[in-house]
Amino acid sequence: MKTPLTAMKLWEFLTDLHDEGHDLENIKVLYRYDRDSDDVLVCAAEEDLYDMKTNSVLETIMLLTNPEQI
């Protein structure tokens, strides 16, 4: 079973890159479904879904290519 990426794992990954001396301001974020697929530029991150019981606990965030309102 695949394990979803959590915000904490993403934070730790980015922190490690920063600690290694990489300039995070100059690193673009891309998305690929797998290593053989084309890349898509990620332009925004937003809050997504909250828990069904209380609607107050953030459960997911989303990465968007087009954050414009439809």
pLDDT at 59: 97
Position 1 pLDDT exceeds 90 = no
In angstroms, the Cα distances linking 28 to 44, 47, 66 are 11, 20, 15
**pTM recorded for the entire structure:** 0.84
Element of type H or E holding 18: helix 7-19
Distance between CA atoms of 3 and 68, rounded to whole angstroms? Answer: 30
pLDDT at 20: 98
Instruction: Read off the pLDDT of residues 12-66 as tens digits, 9 standing for 90 and up.
Output: 999 999 999 999 999 999 999 999 999 999 999 999 999 999 999 999 999 999 9
Distance between CA atoms of 22 and 34, rounded to whole angstroms? Answer: 24
Distance between CA atoms of 42 and 37, rounded to whole angstroms? Answer: 15
